[in-house]
Amino acid sequence: MTTAPPARDARPVNAAPPPPQAPRPYATATPLPAQSTTSTAAVSPQGASNVAVHPSVVPIPSRRAIPPVSDRVDRGQGDSAHAVAHRRALGRLMDRLADVVDLTPLDSGAPPDGALAQRIAQASAAGAEALRAAGELPPEVDVEALVADAQRELLSLGPLDRLLEDAEVSEIQVFRYDHVIAMHGRRRVIAEVGFSSERAVGRAIRRLCMAAGQPIEAGASFVERTLPKGRRLFAVLPPAATSTLVIRKPQRPDVTLDDLVRNGTISRAMAGLLAQCVLGRGNLLVTGTRDAGTGWLLGALAAAAQSDDRFVVLQEEDELALDHPNTLSIALGATTDERTRAVRAAVRIRPERVVVSSFSGHVAAEIVDAIGGGMDGVLAASRAPTLRQAVTRLPADIAATRPGITPETAREWLASSFDLAIEIALLRDGRHRVLRIAELAVEGGQIAIRDVFTFVVERTAAGGALEGTFHPSGLVPDIVEDLQSRGLSVDTSTSFRRNR
C-alpha cells in the first residue's frame, strides 16, 4: 500500500477379515508428478489434481476399526499392554515370513509382482495361525489385525497408512522403528502399531520416494522429498544413522480471524483492525517461528479478503494451501534466479493479494522493490523468534542483495513497506497468541517498533495454562487514516483506548 517511507512522529516503544477391498496405492493418495531437482518458477493452480501411483497388486485386509490417532490421550494406546503384545507378535510373524518367503525384492521400494504378493498374503495368514496353534500369541492379540498389519507393512506403508490419511495428524515421526509418533498440534501421540524392524522403515522410505517420482540414489544417506498433497519427507538412512523418518503435512489454514478470537489467539479489537487492513489492501508482515502458527495466521488474514480477489501464493513448497477459490501457487525455486523470476512473475500477474510464506533474502528484496513500485495487498511471513529479531535481520538481507545501498536505506525500505507487523508465538502451555501488533518506523537510523496492541501474561493457572490480557497501547496507527479515507470503518474511540 505505502510506496515511500512516510514521515513519522517519534513515539516511545511499548514494550474377521472382510471381503477383499479394491486395490490401494501406497496409501499416499494422489501423488505429484516427478519433481525436477532444478525447477524454474513453475506456476500451477492451487489444488491441481495429481497423477496416480503404483497400485498394490493384492488387497490388504482392513484392520479392525480403531479411533483416529488424534482422539487418544498423549501416550495414545502405543504403550498399552495390548499394543506391546501386538508389536511383539508382529515381529515374530515377520520372522516366520522371512523364513518362507524371499522378501529381498521388496527392499528396492518397487511394488511386488503378483506372484510375490500372493505368496506374502498366503504366508502371513498361515504364519499367524501357526503362531496361535503353537500358543505363541497372547490371547489379547487379534489374529486378523495381526495379518492385516503384516501385509500392510510388506505391501504398503505399514503404520504410516492410517496416519497419512488422518486429517488431524500434522506430522509423523519415526526415530525408532517400533516407536511411531503422530503430532496433533503440540500433542505427541504414540501410534498403536509400529514397524517390525529397521528394514521395514527403510522399505517404507523407499516406497514413498518412488511414489514421489524420485527414487533414492545408491549410497544416499540423507533424503528430502516433496510427497503427494504437498507433504514433505525428511529421512536419514544407514550408515549415517538408523533409519529415521519425518513426514510433515502442509498447513491447511481453514480458519478465520473470528476463529482466532474465539480460541484466544487475538482480541476482538485486534481482529477488527486486521480485517479492515486486509480489505484496504494493506501490507502486513507476520513474524514467528515455524511452529508459532504463522501459516494459520496468514490463512486467517487471507480469509478476510473479498471472495473475488485473486491470490498469488509464493512458497518454497506446497506448505500453505489457502481455502480461496482464486488462488495460484508459484514455486520459489532453489536458486536466486528462480526466486527472482518467481516474484517478478507474481507482480506481472497483478493479483489483488500476494502471499509470501518465506519472506527473507532475495525474496524479501524483490517484494520490497515491488511494493515501492506500487504493489499492495502483501501478506508476508518471516521466520524469526521475535519481531525485533526479524526487523534486525531483514534489512541486512535486503542490503546484501542490493549492492550500493546503505543499511540505513534498507531499514527505511523495510519500515515503509509494511503498514503493520504482527508477532505470533507458541507459548509454553501449547496455545498460540499474537504477542503484538505494531507499526515500524525509523528513528535515529534504527527501526523502532511502535506497539499498537500487546499481549501481557499475567499468571499461570492450575494445569499450566498462561493467562493474560491483550492491551491497546493508545497509539492509533497511521494506516487507520488511510483506511478511513477509503471509506472503511475503524472505530478509533474505543479500539485503541489504553487500558486503565
100 part of a folded domain: yes
Spell out the residues 6+ positions from residue 324 whose beta carbon is closer than 8 angstroms to its own. Answer: 46, 302, 303, 305, 307, 309, 311
- pLDDT class of 434 with cuts at 50, 70, 90: very high
DSSP 8-class letter at 32: P
**What are the tens digits of pLDDT across the range 62-107?**
444 333 433 333 444 455 788 888 888 898 999 999 999 999 999 8
* pLDDT (0 to 100) of residue 65: 38
Q: What local confidence, expressed as pLDDT, does residue 425 receive?
A: 94
Mean pLDDT, to the nearest integer, of 364-380? 95
Domain shared by 316 and 392, yes or no: yes
Residues 431-438, mean pLDDT to the nearest whole number = 94
Contact between 317 and 231 (Cβ < 8 Å): no
Q: What is the pLDDT of residues 190-214, one digit of tens each?
A: 888 889 999 999 999 999 999 888 8
- Going by pLDDT thresholds of 50, 70 and 90, the confidence category of residue 365 is very high
Give the Cα separation of 497 and 478 in Å (integer): 15
* End position of a domain, from candidates 216, 248, 280: 248
Single-letter residue type at 251: Q
| Same domain as 399, residue 290 | yes
On the question of a cis peptide bond just before residue 6, with omega within 30 degrees of 0, the verdict is no
Judge if 457 and 321 occupy the same domain. Answer: yes
Whether residue 207 sits in one domain with residue 298: no
* 342 lies in some domain: yes
- For the chain, the C-alpha Rg in angstroms (whole number) is 26
pLDDT of 20 strictly over 50: no
Name beta bridge partners: 182. 172, 189
State whether 265 and 241 are in the same domain. no
Stretch 136-163: mean pLDDT: 91
Sheet with 446-460, side-by-side order of all strands? 43-45, 327-331, 311-315, 353-356, 378-383, 284-288, 420-426, 432-443, 446-460, 466-472
User: Residue 6: its pLDDT value, please?
Assistant: 41
- Strands, E assignment, 129-266: 171-176, 179-184, 187-190, 222-226, 232-236, 244-248
Q: Is 395's pLDDT higher than 60?
A: yes
Model confidence pTM above 0.85 = no
Residues 85 and 107 in one domain: yes
CATH of the domain at 231: 3.30.450.90
Tell me if 409 is assigned to some domain. Answer: yes
| pLDDT for 25 | 39
User: Is residue 451 assigned to a domain?
Assistant: yes
Residues 354 and 441 in one domain: yes
Q: Which of 204, 225, 248 is the last residue of a domain?
A: 248
* Highest mean pLDDT (candidates 1-10, 175-184, 424-433, 446-455): 446-455
pLDDT band per the 50, 70, 90 thresholds, residue 307: confident
Based on the domain organization, do 181 and 265 belong to the same domain? no
Contact 418, 283 (CB under 8 A): yes
Q: How many other β-carbons are positioned within 10 Å of the β-carbon of residue 140?
A: 12
- Whether 273 and 386 share a structural domain: yes
Confidence of residue 323 (pLDDT cuts 50, 70, 90): confident
Could you give the number of structural domains in the chain? 2
Phi-psi region of 224 (alpha: psi -120 to 50; beta: other; left: phi over 0): beta
How close are the terminal C-alpha atoms of the chain, in Å?
A: 33
For residue 495 the three cell numbers come to 479500539
Per-residue confidence (pLDDT) for residue 305, from 0 to 100: 92
Q: What is the pLDDT of residue 186?
A: 64
Q: What is the mean pLDDT of residues 322-337?
A: 84
Residues 182 and 284 in one domain: no
> Percentage of residues in the chain with pLDDT exceeding 90?
49
Co-location of 162 and 289 in the same domain:
no
Q: Are 147 and 132 in contact (CB under 8 A)?
A: no
Average pLDDT of the chain is: 82
Lowest average pLDDT, out of 180-184, 372-376, 408-412, 418-422, goes to 180-184
Could you tell me the CATH number of the domain that includes residue 411? 3.40.50.300
Q: Tell me if 22 is assigned to some domain.
A: no
Q: Of 248, 274, 303, which closes a domain?
A: 248
Residue 359 inside a domain? The answer is: yes
Q: Phi first, then psi: what are they for 285, rounded to 5°?
A: -110, 125
**Does the pLDDT of residue 295 top 50, yes or no?**
yes
User: Do 234 and 276 sit in the same domain of this protein?
Assistant: no
So what's the pLDDT on residue 153? Answer: 92
Instruction: Domain of residue 190: give its range.
Output: 58-248
